[in-house]
Amino acid sequence: MTAVLFDFSGTLFRIEPTESWLRAALDEAGLALAEAELARAALELERVGALPGGMAPRAPMPDEVAAVWGIRDESAELHRAAYTGLSRLVPLPDPALHDALYDRHMSPAAWQPYPDAAEVLRALRERGVGVGVVSNIGWDLRPVFRAHGLDPYVDVYVLSYEHGVQKPDPRLFKTACTALGVEPRDVLMVGDDRRADGGAAALGCGVHFVDHLPAAQRPDGLRPVLDLVG
């Protein structure tokens, strides 16, 4: 393999827990909830799937959200509309909090690299292996990589909202391969979503899956990539 493509959420980084996400937005807005109410609201936000990168929705979606859910990663506007639409299913003390929650999830502080992410990316760079990040997302994740010191190890970012195409469409993986100057047969795609990230196989890329777990529960899930690359 001459290059490795990585997914972002659930692969290289993990989003903060829902309760921490809500608490940070409340603090930023100068608002407070009783602990029991905060915990209840966090559970409801999790149930409806309002946290991007968090749990998938486990509740019925409003028609207006359902209409864009499948294509939410094709533009920044659709992404925000989908997730704030889910958030608004949960009553909060100020309606402005729904946009504040969305903004919070884009901040570097909301994301934690998996424990072995830096080690693996650094080793790939030392071996001369190209690295790309291919993500279904509605916002610019580059500041997250910069803030956590991982940007120097990434050669190419291919983000769905910047191209109007989302995984598993092979075109997104092809864009990354072209940018890296490599043939798909020489590329390994690493991700946590068998459907979305597995789309790279249609292009001829190798595919390797990791488990989407809290960071503390997956300390070395990325290290097998180094053996696969050789």
On whether the CB atoms of residues 83 and 52 are closer than 8 A, the answer is: yes
Mean pLDDT of 157-179: 98
* Portion of the chain with pLDDT greater than 90, in percent: 100
Residue-wise pLDDT for 78-119, tens only, equals: 999 999 999 999 999 999 999 999 999 999 999 999 999 999
Assess whether 21 and 92 both reside in one domain.
yes
Assess whether 8 and 118 both reside in one domain.
yes
Q: Report residue 205's pLDDT band, with 50, 70 and 90 as the boundaries.
A: very high
Assess whether 115 and 44 both reside in one domain.
no
pLDDT number for residue 188: 98
Mean pLDDT of 68-81: 98
pLDDT number for residue 26: 97
On whether the CB atoms of residues 211 and 194 are closer than 8 A, the answer is: no
Range of the domain at 222: 3-14+111-229
pLDDT number for residue 213: 95
Assess whether 85 and 115 both reside in one domain.
no
Assess whether 115 and 196 both reside in one domain.
yes
Instruction: For residue 189, give every residue at least 6 positions away whose Cβ sits within 8 Å of its Cβ, in sequence order, or none.
Output: 4, 5, 7, 134, 173, 197, 200, 201, 205, 206, 207, 208
Mean pLDDT of 118-136: 98
Mean pLDDT of 172-186: 98
Assess whether 68 and 23 both reside in one domain.
yes
Mean pLDDT of 123-144: 98
| Gap between the Cα atoms of 66 and 100, Å rounded | 22
On whether the CB atoms of residues 71 and 78 are closer than 8 A, the answer is: yes
For residue 175, is pLDDT > 90? yes
Assess whether 210 and 124 both reside in one domain.
yes
Assess whether 118 and 217 both reside in one domain.
yes
Residue at which a domain ends, from 109, 129, 145: 109
Q: How far is CA 181 from the centre of its chain?
A: 25
For residue 9, is pLDDT > 90? yes
Can you give the CATH number for the domain in which 176 is found? 3.40.50.1000
Mean pLDDT of 180-191: 98
Assess whether 117 and 210 both reside in one domain.
yes
Question: From the CA atom positions of the chain, what is the Rg in Å?
Answer: 18
pLDDT number for residue 230: 77
- For the chain, how many structural domains are there in total? 2
| The dihedral formed by the CA atoms of 135, 70, 200 and 203, expressed in degrees to the nearest 10 | -130
| Gap between the Cα atoms of 168 and 183, Å rounded | 18
Assess whether 19 and 93 both reside in one domain.
yes
Assess whether 119 and 195 both reside in one domain.
yes
| Gap between the Cα atoms of 66 and 185, Å rounded | 36
Q: Report residue 164's pLDDT band, with 50, 70 and 90 as the boundaries.
A: very high
pLDDT number for residue 204: 97
Residue at which a domain ends, from 52, 87, 109: 109
Element (H, E) at 120: helix 117-126
| Gap between the Cα atoms of 106 and 161, Å rounded | 14
Mean pLDDT score of the chain, rounded to an integer?
97
- Assigned token pair, 1: 């393999």
Assess whether 147 and 211 both reside in one domain.
yes
Residue at which a domain ends, from 109, 127, 146: 109
Q: Which residue from 60, 75, 80, 180 is spatially nearest to 131, judged by alpha carbons?
A: 180
Q: Report residue 224's pLDDT band, with 50, 70 and 90 as the boundaries.
A: very high
Q: Report residue 55's pLDDT band, with 50, 70 and 90 as the boundaries.
A: very high
Residue-wise pLDDT for 16-39, tens only, equals: 999 999 999 999 999 999 999 999
